[in-house]
A and B are shown apart, each in its own frame.
Chain A
Amino acid sequence: MEDIVVFDNVAKYFHTHSGQMLLRDRLFHWMRPAPRFYALRGVSFAIRRGESLAVVGQNGAGKSTLLNIATGLCLPSEGTVEINGRLAALLELGSGFHPDLTGAENIRINAALLGLRRRQTHQRFDQIVEFSELGNFIYEPLRTYSAGMVMRLAFSVAVNVDPDILIIDEVLGVGDQSFFQKCLERILEFRHGGKTLLCVSHALNTLEGLCDRGLWLDHGRVLKAGPVQQVVEEYKRSNGVAQALTSAQTVA
């Protein structure tokens, strides 16, 4: 089996307090470079075709940075990244959605952004609308939709793009139970089709059901990698200890 995503000793840093992007700040920082903040450091892993990886960690651990690098949105500062296949990123559902356009118009734009071709978009249009269960609302402007309806629309486009690699960043928490189930089924179906999944979530139980491998990030470094149950188990335990400590301190 071939490796579909390979991270080799990847680091990503940003310059802290680099000010605004104005001429005076730029000149100032050109003369005195700002200190670096490492969002990721020495991260190496490989995902093979058909595998799925869950990334866990606390807020600010570098999970989203890792996904953004995997998607090709930003380049690593150090190390190399290799990706073979078409990605569909659910980093933020509904990228490019506009409230004044109708659901149907937004579907087309979003599909084009996610990499569908003209003919594919026409072919899958009905399928997308059907999956969203929005019925005739699809011809109403997006600003008349509820948050749940927007999420349904966005998710329906994303799962119908049919990518080689699906990247999901904490987007499964919205929507009602039945739609959530439907999405999960769709993702599992996708997994059984031999596609690759890269997933970030704080819903640890969902992750255990969806993924077979886990990666625990802490302050930009890999703390543990291995079978998802083990990683999630240990992550939970460390959180439990941390929680116990805080509550103990509160009591004291």
Chain B
Amino acid sequence: MWRGDSIFLLQNLIMKDFRIRYRNMSLGVLWSLLNPLVMMGVLTFVFTMIFPNPNIRNYPVFVLCGLVPYSFFTIAWISGTTSIVDNSGLVKRVPVPREIVPIASVLSNCVHLVVQIGLLLAAALLFRGGANRYWFWLPLIWVLELIFVCGMALATAAFNVYIRDTRYIVESINTVLFWLVPIFYGLEAIPAKFAEVYQYNPIAALVVCLRDILLKAQAPPAATLEKLTAVSMLTFVVGLVIFQKGKRAFYDHI
């Protein structure tokens, strides 16, 4: 029924979000840098001064490799979760494909992400010196994270229409995730029997891949990449199916 241009609309919605967010901020994009830098400083202080770990070198870059994917995931997932309810005016008034709303909401956080990846790469260059050919893996693994977040957001956005508590559940999961993703510790520290399971979490897998590429200058392990790809794709498909089911009665519940 709606025969518009989904890509054009998506682009417009993302630009809208971006403009609104940054037009009212004097420091603009600098805010995206502040949060990871502060967290990096605090965690570096705690884990080099209070609980020193001699096995980890370049701790600031090490921890940033964990913080950037984690903070993007949490922010994008939450904004995707609440997107349908937040944009009820749009959902109730315009017959656009509903999938576009959470996806646009997730993707509009990419401005933050690009800035933070820039910071991460700059830190890697500074502490490790020089890029390597494995950097070509970076676009692929970030795209996989995006696919994963979109899948999660589609599912929870649909749930959130029917049960508004969903966003609080998502927030709690995010808090727990801070400890269950190897952000301030390495994969090596995890006992062997858990290490395998850990990598089925795409965020953890992404962190592992990033550290291999940026710190160890080696290709990410194939097994981890496979898990990252499989789980991300599967999540997206499942998220889409849940959303398709849920969207039929969005109008009646928002």
Contacts and interface: CB of A to CB of B under 8 A. Distances in A.
Q: State the majority secondary structure of interface residues on B.
A: helix
A115 B24 CA distance: 29
Interface stretch (A18-26, A52-60, A192-200, A238-246): A18-26
A243 B69 CA distance: 66
Interface in A73-124: 73-75, 83, 86-87, 89, 91-92, 95-96, 98, 100-101, 105, 108-109, 112-118, 121
Interface in A1-40: 14-15, 20-23, 26
B1 to A, nearest CB: 4
B16, B95, B252 — which one has the most chain A CB atoms within 10 A of its CB?
B95
B1 A91 contact: no
Interface in B63-115: 89-90, 92-96
A54 to B, nearest CB: 21
Interface residues of B, number: 32
A20 B164 contact: yes
A68 interface: yes
Nearest to B7: A118
B9 A71 contact: no
Nearest to B95: A72
A74 B9 contact: no
B56 interface: no
Contacts of B20: 98, 100-101
Contact of A112 (B3, B9, B95, B253): B9
B112 to A, nearest CB: 19
Given A101-B19, A101-B20, A75 B248 contact: yes
A71 B2 CA distance: 9
Contact of A86 (B3, B9, B248, B252): B3
B23 interface: yes
A89 B95 contact: yes
Contacts of B188: none
Contacts of B253: 21
Interface of B: 1-5, 8-9, 12-13, 15-16, 19-20, 23-24, 89-90, 92-96, 161-165, 248-249, 251-253
Interface of A: 14-15, 20-23, 26, 68, 71-75, 83, 86-87, 89, 91-92, 95-96, 98, 100-101, 105, 108-109, 112-118, 121
Given A75-B248, A87-B2, 11 more contacts: A14-B252, A26-B163, A72-B2, A74-B249, A75-B249, A96-B16, A100-B19, A105-B16, A105-B19, A112-B5, A115-B5
